[in-house]
C-alpha cells in the first residue's frame, strides 16, 4: 500500500461568486521513505498542492473534489480534531521563509515543546530534553542556550534548522518541504539541503520537496513531478526527467537553465508567461506557449499516459507512443 | 500565503473608478449614507430658505412659546419639533445649527488637509533632517490630545478677551483651533504614500528630465496619493463636527445666541429632568445620524479605495 | 533597560519644561494677582508697591525661574478661589478621577478583548456582525451624548443608579479618598465609568479585531496549524500575544483622548474630580489653578507614556535588543 496517494484532486478558489481552478485532477503516490519533488514556476500550484495534502489551504480556497489518502485514511473528509492528529505527528510541513515561520514573541524552546506536548502526554522536562536532542541532531551548537532564545536572536540558517528540528520531534512519516532553501543565502542552502537529505535517509522519512529550482531537486529527489497551471504535466525518475524531458514545458524549463547556454549567447526562454487562474486557456494549458501545438491541443486536454519510465500529459507524446506501439505490433 | 484578490482576478475592463462606482452602487448602505450626507448638506445650505422661522428675527425668541412639545404631542402646528426654553422654534434652530456645525467641520478639515498635505509632501519627498524634524513635531502634536489643546486654548481665549468679543469670533476661532491641531494625521498619511510613490520609476524619470522638486511633488506625486486622503477626509469632518459639538457642550464653543448642535444639546440637558426631553433628544439624534452617515461613508471608502486589501 | 529609562527621563524633563513655560505664560497674561489679593479701596500706589514686593515687575524669565523653582518643590501657586495652594486643591480631587478612569479601563479590557477576539475568529458569525454594527454606531455617538443618555435612562427613567456626585467615600491611610469600598460609592461609580468605557470601547473592539485578523493571516499561525496545535492554543497564545502589541501602543496614544473624555464625563455627572475642577476654574478664571492643572495633567501624561512604553518593551521581546544597542 502506498503511504500517501492523491487521486484526482481538484482545488478551487471562490472569489466573488467566481470559481477559479487552482489544481486540476492532480494524482500521484508516495511510498514509505521515498523522496519526490514537485517543480514548476511560481503560480503553478505547487504550494497549493502541498497545503491541500493536510487541508491547510486558506479561504477562499477549498478542496472541491478528489481524495488524499494517508495509508487508508481519507484526509479530505476529516474534521479539525482528526486533522490535528495527523498534522505534525504523521505529516509535518516546512515553510519557505524561516523568518516568518516562527512566532516572534515565543521562545524557540516553547515552540518546540508545544508541538510535542500537544500530541503526547509528557512532562515539560521530558519534552525539553527531546527538543534539545533534536536541536543537537540538526547541528545547532549549545542547544540549551538556544532553547530559551527568541527567533530574532538566530540567523536565517539556524532558524531553518530549528524548523527542521521541530518537524522531526514526533517522527513523522512524511515531511512536506515548501521551498525550504529559497529564502536562505546560497552558501547555507547547500548545508540545509544536506541536512534534510541526511535526516530523511537516516530516519526513513518520506519527503515531498516543493521547489522551482531544478538544481536543488536533482540533488535530493528520486522522483519528480512537473506542474504547470494547476496540472501535473510530467512525472518520472528525476534523472530521466532531467536528461530526457518529454513534455515541451519540461524541455523548455531545462533549456532555460543558464548552464544550457554558451557564454555570451542569449538565454533560452519559454515565450509568454504562465496564465493566472482566471485566464486559463482552453484545452492543454500550455498550448499558447508550446512550439509544437496543434488544433487538438487547443481543444482537448491531454490525459496522463506512460512513456517509458515516465508519465506525460501531452498529445504529441501520446501520438509518438502510439506510433511506436503500432510499429512494434507491425514488426511482430 | 495570502491570496489578495488583485493577484487572482483578471482586471475588470475599464478604469479603476468604474470598478469603484459599480461596487458603490451595489453597496446599499454606502448609497444610503451618501444620500443622507447630501441631504444634510443641502439642508444646511438652504437653511435660510427652508426654515419656517427666521433665526435672526428678534421676535423669534418669545418666552411665551417656551418649552412647547413637538407637534405630534402638543398638537401645536406652529412648531413642528417643539420649542426650546427660550421659545425658539426647534426645527429652525436645528437647521441653522446643522449649518454651523457642517460649516465649521468642513472648513476646519480643509485647513487640516491643506496644512497636513503640504507638510506631509515635504517630509516625504525631501526626507532626511526635514522629514525627521517635521515628524517629531507631528508626534508631539499627536501626543497632546486635540480636545485638550482646544479646551485649554478656548478657555484661555475666552477668559482673556471676555464673552462679548468671544461670541463674535467664536466660529472663526473654532475653525482655526480644530483645523490647526489635527494636521498630523493628514501629514502622516500623505508622507507614507509619498514614500511609497518615491520608489516608483516615474519619479526618477521626472527628475532626470529636470523637472523641479515642487512640480514633481504637486503635479506628479500628489494625484497618486489622494485616495487615502479621501478616506480620511470624510472621517475627519465627522470628528471635527463632534469636537465642535463637545466644545460647545462645555460652553467653550458656539455661544447660545448662535447655537450649533452641541450648544443645543448642552442647553437641553438641564431641561431633560424637567420633562422637556425634546430640546436635548432631537438635536442629539440629528447629530448622531450625520456622524453615522459620514463614518459609514468613510468606512466604505477605506474598504474600496485601498487597492491592497479587499475584505471578503 | 536603564539607558531606556534615562532617555525617557530626559525627554520627560524637556516636555515638562515646555508645559510649565506655557502654564506660566498663561498665568502671567491672564488675570491679575494683585487684584485678586486686595480690595478695590487700595490705592494704585500701594498696588505698585505690592507688585514690586511680589516681584511682578521682574523680567519674564526671572519670574519663570522663580515659578519653576517653586514648582519643583511642589508650590504651583495659590488658587484665587479656594485660597489654598493650587497643587493641594488638585491632588485632593485626584483620587476621584483616578478611580473613575481605572474602572473605565478595567471595563474596557474585560469587555473589548473577548468581543474583539470573537469578531476576529468568526467574522461571519451573527454575534460578530452584531458586535461590529454596534461598534460602528457607538463610534458615531459622541461621549457626552452617551453620558446624557445613560443619565436619562438609568437615572431618570428607571432609577437604577444615581447620576450626581460620588456618594459615600472612605479615607484610606489619611491620603486617599476612595469610593470603591462602600456600596453607595460603587453605585455612584457605575454610570460615569460605564459611559467612559462605552465611549472608548468601539475603538478597542475594532482595533483588536483588525489586528487579530491580520495576525491570523501570518505565516507563523499557519505553521502552528500545520503542527497540529489546538485551536485554543493558537488563538490565545500564538495570536493574542502578537495582537496585544499594537493595541498597547494605540492604547497609550488614547491617553490624551481619555483625559478629554474624562472632563466631559465629570462635567455631566458632576463627578468631583480634576476635570470638573478644571472646568470650574475656567469659568471663574482662577488662573493659578488652570496653570497648575495643566502641569499636573502634563506630568501624568508623560508618566503614562513612559509606563506604556515600558510595558510594551517588556511584552515584546524584539524590542529589548534595540534598547541594548543604545
One DSSP character per residue, B293-306 reads HHHHHHHHHHHHH-
Pick from A47, A59, A277: CB nearest B8: A277
CA distances from C249 to C210, C244, C253, C304, C317 (A): 14, 9, 7, 12, 15
Pick from C140, C283, C285: CB nearest B292: C140
Q: Tell me if B250 and C264 make a contact (CB, 8 A cut-off).
A: yes
Q: Tell me if B7 and A276 make a contact (CB, 8 A cut-off).
A: yes
Q: For residue C62, count CB atoms less than 10 angstroms from its CB and return exposed for 0-12, middle for 13-18, buried for 19 or more.
A: exposed
Going by the DSSP 8-state scheme, the letter that residue B216 receives in this structure is I
Q: Tell me which residues of chain C, numbers 224 to 283, contact chain A at a CB-CB cutoff of 8 Å.
A: 224-231, 233, 237-238, 241-242, 245
Name the minimum distance, in Å, from the CA of A13 to any CA of chain B.
9
> How far is the C-alpha of C311 from the C-alpha of B258, rounded, in Å?
47
Strands A174-178 and A206-211: parallel
> How far is the C-alpha of A281 from the C-alpha of A273, rounded, in Å?
12
Q: Tell me if A61 and B2 make a contact (CB, 8 A cut-off).
A: no
Give A144 or A183, the one with higher predicted confidence: A144
Among A40, A10, A172, smallest CA distance to A94 is for: A172
Report the percentage of chain A scoring pLDDT > 70. 100
Based on DSSP, count helices (H) and strands (E) in chain B, helices before strands: 15, 0
Q: Tell me if B272 and C257 make a contact (CB, 8 A cut-off).
A: no
> How far is the C-alpha of A43 from the C-alpha of C260, rounded, in Å?
52
- The predicted structure's pLDDT at residue B251: 81
pLDDT above 70: residue C321? no
A322 SS3 class: helix
Domain residue limits at B190: 27-49+88-306
- The predicted structure's pLDDT at residue B13: 35
Mean pLDDT of A154-175: 89
pLDDT, tens digit, 9 for 90 and up, residues A89-125: 899 999 988 888 999 889 999 999 999 999 989 999 9
Pick from C142, C222, C256: CB nearest B246: C142
At residue C205 the predicted structure's pLDDT band, cuts being 50, 70 and 90, is very high
Q: Tell me if C30 and B156 make a contact (CB, 8 A cut-off).
A: yes
- The predicted structure's pLDDT at residue C41: 67
At residue B18 the predicted structure's pLDDT band, cuts being 50, 70 and 90, is low
pLDDT, tens digit, 9 for 90 and up, residues C49-84: 777 776 666 777 777 777 777 777 777 777 777 778
pLDDT, tens digit, 9 for 90 and up, residues B70-100: 777 776 677 777 777 777 888 888 888 888 8
Q: Tell me if C260 and B292 make a contact (CB, 8 A cut-off).
A: no
**Domain boundaries defined on chain A:** 4-331
Q: Tell me if C141 and B159 make a contact (CB, 8 A cut-off).
A: no
Domain A4-331, CATH among 3.90.1150.10, 1.10.10.10, 3.40.50.300, 2.60.40.10 = 3.40.50.300
pLDDT above 70: residue C324? no
Pick from A58, A61, A278: CB nearest B9: A278
The order of strands in the sheet holding A305-307 is A91-94, A174-178, A206-211, A35-39, A223-228, A231-237, A310-312, A305-307
C8 SS3 class: helix
At residue B312 the predicted structure's pLDDT band, cuts being 50, 70 and 90, is very low
The β-bridge partners of A209 are: A37, A177
**Concatenated DSSP letters for C116-128?**
HHHHHHSTTSHHH
Residues in chain B: 312
Report how far apart the first and last C-alpha atoms of chain B are (Å, whole number).
16
How many distinct structural domains can be found in chain B? 1
At residue C1 the predicted structure's pLDDT band, cuts being 50, 70 and 90, is low
A12, A15, A100, best to mutate vs chain B, most B CBs in 10 Å? A15
Based on DSSP, count helices (H) and strands (E) in chain C, helices before strands: 15, 2
B311 shares contact with chain A (CB less than 8 Å): no
| CATH number for the domain harbouring residue B100 | 1.10.3720.10
Q: Tell me if C144 and B265 make a contact (CB, 8 A cut-off).
A: yes
Q: Tell me if A115 and C245 make a contact (CB, 8 A cut-off).
A: no
Mean pLDDT taken over chain A: 87
Chain C: partners with 3+ C-beta pairs within 8 Å: A, B
ipTM over 0.85: yes
pLDDT above 60: residue C121? yes
> How far is the C-alpha of A159 from the C-alpha of A170, rounded, in Å?
19
* Helical (H) or strand (E) element with B90: helix B90-126
At residue A224 the predicted structure's pLDDT band, cuts being 50, 70 and 90, is very high
pLDDT above 60: residue B263? yes
Residue holding cell 460647545? B248
B295 shares contact with chain C (CB less than 8 Å): yes
Give B213 or B266, the one with higher predicted confidence: B266
**Concatenated DSSP letters for A92-121?**
EEE-S-HHHHS-TTS-HHHHHHHHHHTTS-
> How far is the C-alpha of C48 from the C-alpha of C38, rounded, in Å?
12
B296 shares contact with chain C (CB less than 8 Å): yes
Predicted structure pTM score: 0.81
Among B261, B259, B257, B262, smallest CA distance to B246 is for: B262
pLDDT, tens digit, 9 for 90 and up, residues A261-303: 778 888 777 877 888 877 888 888 888 888 888 888 888 888 8
Peptide bond preceding B239 in cis form (omega within 30 of 0): no
For the ranges A326-330, B71-75, B260-264, the one whose mean pLDDT is highest: B260-264
A227 SS3 class: strand
Q: Tell me if B3 and A13 make a contact (CB, 8 A cut-off).
A: yes
> How far is the C-alpha of A312 from the C-alpha of A298, rounded, in Å?
17
B-to-C residue pairs, Cβ atoms closer than 8 angstroms: 90
Name the minimum distance, in Å, from the CA of B3 to any CA of chain A.
8
Give C270 or B165, the one with higher predicted confidence: C270
B238 shares contact with chain C (CB less than 8 Å): yes
Mean pLDDT of A68-79: 89
- The predicted structure's pLDDT at residue B166: 75
Residues in chain A: 332
Assigned C-alpha cell, C248: 498597547
Report the percentage of chain C scoring pLDDT > 70. 90
pLDDT above 60: residue B311? no
At residue B14 the predicted structure's pLDDT band, cuts being 50, 70 and 90, is very low
A304 backbone φψ class: left, alpha, beta (φ>0; ψ -120 to 50):
beta
pLDDT above 60: residue C325? no
pLDDT, tens digit, 9 for 90 and up, residues C261-307: 898 899 888 888 888 888 888 777 777 888 888 888 888 888 888 88
- The predicted structure's pLDDT at residue B22: 57
At residue C48 the predicted structure's pLDDT band, cuts being 50, 70 and 90, is confident
Q: For residue C127, count CB atoms less than 10 angstroms from its CB and return exposed for 0-12, middle for 13-18, buried for 19 or more.
A: exposed
- The predicted structure's pLDDT at residue B59: 66
Assigned C-alpha cell, B95: 437647521
Report how far apart the first and last C-alpha atoms of chain A are (Å, whole number).
36
> How far is the C-alpha of A138 from the C-alpha of A196, rounded, in Å?
9
Going by the DSSP 8-state scheme, the letter that residue A310 receives in this structure is E
CA distances from A199 to A113, A202, A205, B288, C254 (A): 20, 5, 8, 65, 52
- The predicted structure's pLDDT at residue A275: 82
Mean pLDDT of A59-72: 88
Give B185 or A208, the one with higher predicted confidence: A208
Pair C318, C242: CB distance under 8 Å: no
Residue B113 lies in a domain: yes
Q: What are phi and psi of A32, to 5 degrees?
A: -55, 135
Among A40, A8, A38, A4, smallest CA distance to A23 is for: A8
Residue holding cell 486559463? A280
A27 SS3 class: strand
Residue A277's CB is within 10 A of a number of other CB atoms, namely: 22
Residue B288 lies in a domain: yes
CA C153 to centroid of chain Cα atoms:
26
Give A17 or B39, the one with higher predicted confidence: B39
Q: Tell me if B9 and A47 make a contact (CB, 8 A cut-off).
A: no
Mean pLDDT of B46-53: 76
- The predicted structure's pLDDT at residue B110: 93
Mean pLDDT taken over chain B: 77
A16, A21, A45, best to mutate vs chain B, most B CBs in 10 Å? A16
Q: Tell me if A13 and B9 make a contact (CB, 8 A cut-off).
A: no
> How far is the C-alpha of B104 from the C-alpha of B115, rounded, in Å?
17
Least confident of A310-314, B206-210, C222-226: B206-210
Name every residue whose Cβ is closer than 8 Å to that of residue A306 and which is 6 or more positions away in sequence.
A321
A154 shares contact with chain C (CB less than 8 Å): no
> How far is the C-alpha of B121 from the C-alpha of B113, rounded, in Å?
12
Residue B234 lies in a domain: yes
Q: Tell me if A153 and C321 make a contact (CB, 8 A cut-off).
A: yes
Q: What are phi and psi of A42, to 5 degrees?
A: -65, 135
Residue B262 lies in a domain: yes
> How far is the C-alpha of A97 from the C-alpha of A184, rounded, in Å?
8
Pick from B1, B148, B251: CB nearest C256: B148
Pair C244, C238: CB distance under 8 Å: no
Amino acid at each position: 500500500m502506498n503511504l500517501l496517494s492523491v487521486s484526482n484532486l481538484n482545488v478551487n478558489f471562490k472569489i466573488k461568486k467566481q470559481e477559479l481552478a487552482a489544481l486540476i485532477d492532480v494524482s500521484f503516490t508516495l511510498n514509505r521513505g521515498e523522496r519526490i519533488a514537485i517543480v514548476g514556476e511560481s503560480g503553478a500550484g505547487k504550494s497549493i498542492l502541498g497545503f491541500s495534502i493536510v487541508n491547510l489551504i486558506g479561504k477562499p480556497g477549498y478542496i472541491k473534489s478528489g481524495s488524499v489518502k494517508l495509508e487508508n485514511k481519507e484526509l479530505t473528509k476529516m474534521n479539525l480534531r482528526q486533522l490535528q492528529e495527523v498534522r505534525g505527528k504523521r505529516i509535518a510541513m516546512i515553510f519557505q521563509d524561516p523568518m516568518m515561520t516562527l512566532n516572534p514573541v515565543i521562545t524557540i524552546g516553547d515552540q518546540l515543546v508545544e508541538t510535542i506536548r500537544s500530541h503526547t502526554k509528557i512532562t515539560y522536562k521530558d519534552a525539553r530534553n527531546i527538543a534539545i536532542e533534536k536541536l543537537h541532531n540538526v547541528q545547532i551548537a549549545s542547544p540549551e542556550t538556544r532553547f530559551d532564545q527568541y527567533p530574532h536572536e538566530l540567523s536565517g540558517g539556524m532558524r531553518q534548522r530549528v524548523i527542521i528540528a521541530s518537524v522531526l520531534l514526533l517522527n513523522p512519516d512524511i515531511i512536506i518541504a515548501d521551498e525550504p532553501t529559497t529564502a536562505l543565502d546560497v552558501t547555507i542552502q547547500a548545508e540545509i539541503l544536506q541536512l534534510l537529505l541526511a535526516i530523511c535517509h537516516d530516519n526513513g522519512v518520506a519527503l515531498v520537496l516543493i521547489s522551482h529550482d531544478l538544481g536543488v531537486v536533482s540533488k535530493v529527489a528520486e522522483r519528480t513531478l512537473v506542474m504547470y497551471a494547476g496540472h501535473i504535466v510530467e512525472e518520472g525518475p528525476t534523472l530521466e526527467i532531467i536528461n530526457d524531458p518529454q513534455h515541451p514545458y519540461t524541455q523548455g524549463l531545462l533549456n532555460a537553465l543558464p548552464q544550457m547556454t554558451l557564454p555570451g549567447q542569449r538565454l533560452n526562454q519559454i515565450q509568454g508567461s504562465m496564465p493566472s487562474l482566471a485566464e486559463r486557456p482552453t484545452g492543454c494549458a500550455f498550448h499558447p506557449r508550446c512550439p509544437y501545438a496543434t488544433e487538438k491541443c487547443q481543444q482537448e486536454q491531454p490525459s496522463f499516459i506512460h512513456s517509458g519510465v515516465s508519465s506525460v500529459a501531452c498529445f504529441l507524446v501520446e501520438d509518438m507512443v502510439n506510433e511506436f506501439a503500432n510499429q512494434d505490433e507491425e514488426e511482430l | 500565503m495570502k491570496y489578495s484578490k488583485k493577484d487572482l482576478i483578471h482586471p475588470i475592463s475599464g478604469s479603476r473608478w468604474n470598478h469603484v462606482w459599480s461596487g458603490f452602487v451595489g453597496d446599499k448602505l454606502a448609497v444610503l449614507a451618501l444620500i443622507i450626507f447630501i441631504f444634510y448638506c443641502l439642508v444646511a445650505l438652504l437653511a435660510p430658505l427652508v426654515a419656517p422661522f427666521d433665526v435672526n428675527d428678534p421676535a423669534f425668541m418669545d418666552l411665551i412659546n417656551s418649552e412647547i412639545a413637538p407637534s405630534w404631542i402638543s398638537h401645536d402646528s406652529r412648531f413642528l419639533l417643539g420649542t426650546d426654553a427660550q421659545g425658539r422654534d426647534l426645527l429652525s434652530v436645528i437647521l441653522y445649527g446643522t449649518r454651523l456645525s457642517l460649516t465649521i467641520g468642513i472648513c476646519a478639515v480643509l485647513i487640516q488637509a491643506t496644512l497636513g498635505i503640504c507638510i506631509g509632501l515635504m517630509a516625504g519627498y525631501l526626507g532626511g533632517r526635514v522629514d525627521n524634524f517635521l515628524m517629531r513635531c507631528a508626534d508631539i502634536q499627536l501626543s497632546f490630545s486635540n480636545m485638550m489643546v482646544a479646551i485649554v486654548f478656548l478657555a484661555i481665549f475666552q477668559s482673556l478677551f471676555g464673552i462679548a468679543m468671544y461670541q463674535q469670533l467664536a466660529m472663526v476661532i473654532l475653525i482655526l483651533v480644530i483645523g490647526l491641531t489635527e494636521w498630523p494625521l493628514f501629514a502622516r498619511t500623505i508622507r507614507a504614500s509619498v514614500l511609497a510613490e518615491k520608489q516608483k520609476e516615474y519619479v526618477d524619470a521626472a527628475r532626470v528630465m529636470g523637472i523641479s522638486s515642487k512640480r514633481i511633488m504637486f503635479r506628479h506625486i500628489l494625484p497618486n496619493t489622494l485616495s487615502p486622503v479621501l478616506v480620511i477626509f470624510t472621517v475627519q469632518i465627522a470628528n471635527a463636527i463632534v469636537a465642535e459639538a463637545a466644545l460647545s457642550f462645555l460652553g467653550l464653543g458656539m455661544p447660545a445666541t448662535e447655537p450649533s448642535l452641541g450648544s443645543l444639546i448642552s442647553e437641553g440637558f438641564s431641561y431633560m429632568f424637567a420633562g422637556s426631553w425634546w430640546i436635548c433628544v432631537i438635536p442629539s439624534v440629528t447629530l448622531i445620524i450625520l456622524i453615522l452617515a459620514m463614518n459609514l461613508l468613510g468606512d466604505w471608502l477605506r474598504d474600496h479605495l485601498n487597492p491592497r486589501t479587499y475584505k471578503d | 533597560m536603564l539607558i531606556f529609562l534615562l532617555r525617557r527621563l530626559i525627554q520627560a524633563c524637556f516636555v515638562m519644561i515646555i508645559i510649565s513655560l506655557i502654564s506660566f505664560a498663561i498665568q502671567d497674561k491672564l488675570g491679575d494677582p494683585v487684584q485678586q489679593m486686595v480690595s478695590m479701596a487700595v490705592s494704585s500706589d500701594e498696588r505698585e508697591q505690592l507688585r514690586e514686593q511680589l516681584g511682578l515687575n521682574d523680567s519674564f524669565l526671572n519670574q519663570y525661574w522663580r515659578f519653576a523653582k517653586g514648582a519643583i518643590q511642589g508650590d504651583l501657586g495659590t488658587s484665587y478661589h479656594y485660597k489654598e495652594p493650587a497643587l493641594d486643591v488638585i491632588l485632593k480631587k485626584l483620587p476621584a478621577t483616578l478611580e473613575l478612569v481605572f474602572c473605565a479601563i478595567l471595563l474596557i479590557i474585560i469587555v473589548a478583548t473577548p468581543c474583539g477576539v470573537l469578531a476576529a475568529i468568526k467574522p461571519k458569525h451573527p454575534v460578530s456582525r452584531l458586535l461590529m454594527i454596534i461598534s460602528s454606531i457607538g463610534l458615531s455617538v459622541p461621549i457626552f451624548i452617551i453620558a446624557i443618555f445613560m443619565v436619562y435612562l438609568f437615572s431618570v427613567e428607571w432609577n437604577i443608579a444615581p447620576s450626581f456626585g460620588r456618594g459615600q467615600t472612605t479615607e484610606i491611610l489619611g491620603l486617599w479618598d476612595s469610593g470603591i469600598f462602600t456600596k453607595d460609592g460603587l453605585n455612584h461609580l457605575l454610570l460615569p465609568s460605564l459611559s467612559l468605557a462605552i465611549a472608548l470601547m468601539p475603538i478597542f473592539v475594532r482595533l483588536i479585531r483588525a489586528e487579530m485578523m491580520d495576525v491570523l493571516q501570518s505565516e507563523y499561525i499557519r505553521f502552528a496549524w500545520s503542527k497540529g496545535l489546538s485551536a485554543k492554543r493558537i488563538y490565545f497564545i500564538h495570536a493574542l500575544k502578537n495582537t496585544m502589541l499594537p493595541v498597547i501602543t494605540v492604547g497609550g496614544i488614547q491617553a490624551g483622548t481619555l483625559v478629554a473624555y474624562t472632563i466631559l464625563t465629570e462635567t455631566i455627572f458632576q463627578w468631583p474630580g480634576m476635570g470638573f475642577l478644571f472646568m470650574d476654574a475656567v469659568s471663574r478664571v482662577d488662573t493659578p489653578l488652570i496653570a497648575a492643572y495643566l502641569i499636573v495633567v502634563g506630568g501624568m501624561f508623560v508618566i503614562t507614556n513612559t509606563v506604556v512604553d515600558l510595558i510594551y518593551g517588556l511584552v515584546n521581546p524584539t524590542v529589548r535588543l534595540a534598547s541594548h544597542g543604545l
